[in-house]
Amino acid sequence: MKYNTIISIFVCLFLTACNPDFNTNKKRTLSKGIISNQDADSDKIIKNKLLDDLINLIEKANADREKYVKKMEEEPSDQYGMLAVFGGMYWAESPRELISDTGSERSIRYRRRVYSILLNAIETNELKKFSEIRILSIKVLEIFSLFNLFGSTLDDVVVHLYSKKDTLGKLDISNLKRLKNLFEKLLSIKTIVSKMSKRLLLDYQNNENFIKTDNAKLGSYVVALSNQIQEKYNEAERLKSEIILIYTL
């Protein structure tokens, strides 16, 4: 029995010596397992970071939206100095109420969305300066309508993503990256459009290129600005479609 044991050990050692790849293959297998685990851990870290960043972005955007919902509850009778502006606008569809109507839900939403654009670049006490623009031409009114449309697009995306934020983990890394990038682009458009509105106000106050004293030049200025804002709104709509397409859980 003792001899059989000795022989078995000898045979095992002999086979190991004759097969130098045995230990190497074993090490390679272990190494692959370690690398695989490291890759999995790395992917998990990347995904968690993306999730945290995206959720923070969504929550911040939703908090901003809620801020303006609250602002409407506190809206003064002069509508933050813009009653002259909103009081000169009305809906094309029946019952054709004024945008200044405090009992109309759609008029309240309209004003909220306009405030959310304008107050992203100026202070509340500066809103009344818009009513100082001498001639609220049709094109100027179109600009405010575009603010409303853009605000509606942003509302739709924020409400959609906020309702889904707890299940975002179902998306893979590539879609999370894409969703985050698209949402950031949409938010950046709001900043750009807000700055455009401030530029309109400043240029008018400073009589830039005589737009305050020359109606024709004011008209040309407003047409050019309206076209720029229209392009940004169209871009926002495309981003909205892509965002909804990525995440419809």
On whether the CB atoms of residues 86 and 100 are closer than 8 A, the answer is yes
pLDDT digits (tens, 9 = 90+) for 64-122: 999 999 999 999 999 999 998 899 899 999 999 999 999 999 999 999 999 999 999 99
pLDDT at 11: 45
Whether residue 47 is predicted with pLDDT greater than 90 in this model: the reply is yes
State the pLDDT at residue 219.
Answer: 86
Nearest Cα neighbor of 69 from 38, 24, 109 is 109
Average pLDDT, the chain: 85
pLDDT the model gives residue 40 = 61
φ/ψ of 90, rounded to 5, equals -145, 165
Residue 5 is predicted with a pLDDT of 47
pTM as predicted: 0.81
For the chain, percent of residues with pLDDT exceeding 90? 63
- Among 17-26, 111-120, 147-156, the least confident range: 17-26
Q: Backbone phi, then psi, for 121, in 5-degree steps?
A: -130, -20
Name the residue among 138, 74, 136 with its Cα closest to residue 111: 74
Q: Is the pLDDT of residue 136 over 80?
A: no
Identify the three-state secondary structure at position 90.
strand
Amino acid at 14: F
Cβ pair 100, 83 in contact under 8 A: yes
pLDDT top residue among 215 and 99 = 99
Q: Which domains does the chain have, with CATH numbers?
A: 44-246 (1.10.3160.10)
Query: For residue 6, what pLDDT is reported?
Result: 45
Q: Pick the more confident residue, 144 or 39.
A: 144
Residue 127 pLDDT greater than 80, yes or no: yes
Poorest-pLDDT segment among 21-35, 38-52, 129-143, 188-202: 21-35
Could you give the maximum distance between any two Cα atoms of the chain, in Å?
Answer: 116
